[in-house]
Amino acid sequence: MALRADNITKKFGDSTVINGFSHEFTDGSFTCIMGASGCGKTTLMNILLGVITPDSGTVTGNTVRMSAVFQEDRLCENLSALSNLRLVMRGKPDRALIETELAAVGLTDCADKPVRDLSGGMKRRIALLRALLAEYEILFLDEPFKGLDDATKQTVMEYCRQKTAGRTVILITHDKSEAVFFGGETIILE
């Protein structure tokens, strides 16, 4: 069942952040939501995720299993990178498999390091990896490549494109090049 937003409105105080947003995110589609900072991209994502209730309008199709890279990393700082990934994976996944995935995003030898000892860019990649390795029907990515240098960003974006091929993905970004790279539909919030 496709994820569908109908006439969503959200206000914070006197400020209307989302005004009558409607869209259907079809299964297997890649959608970029773009807009300037503070235009309500993250609020919209949280409404679609069911974390925030809209003032009016409805969201349907969000009862399926979802995965996300949040605006903040939301990692367990005292756990190792490996444990953070295992936390969201079913059963006790093979260590070698996780290490291969870590190496694919340039995080070789990071598996046993506590996340608190890693740099911002490394944490971001673990947050992205966590979202990609979890089971999901719909994947939300809220600026997943922020804080990465150009070369790493290119590698990680390529990895992300391979991993999400044919899946329902909603990417939130203010970087036009990311939207161009992934293709798909682009929605611009004003």
Using rule CB under 8 A, residue 114 touches another protein? yes
**What whole-number distance in Å separates Cα of residue 82 and Cα of residue 90?**
14
- For 88-118, the DSSP string reads TSSS---HHHHHHHHHHTT-TT-TTSBGGGS
> From residue 149 to residue 178, what is the string marking binding to another protein with x (rule CB under 8 A)?
------------------------------
Which stretch, 7-15, 77-85, 149-157, 166-174, contacts another protein (CB under 8 A)? Answer: 77-85
Q: Which of 3, 68, 118, 156 binds another protein (CB under 8 A)?
A: 68
Interaction between residue 59 and another protein (CB under 8 A): no
In terms of phi and psi (left: phi > 0; alpha: psi -120 to 50; beta: otherwise), the region of 150 is: alpha
- 120 binds another protein, rule: CB under 8 A: no
Provide the residue type at 148 as one letter: L
Residue 78 binding another protein, by CB under 8 A: yes
- CB closer to another protein, 24 vs 72: 72
How far, CA to CA in Å, does 159 sit from each of 40, 60, 123, 162, 164? 28, 30, 16, 5, 9
Phi and psi torsions of 122, nearest 5°? -70, -45
Sites of contact with another protein (CB under 8 A) = 49, 51, 65-68, 70, 72, 74, 76-80, 82-83, 86-88, 112, 114, 130, 134
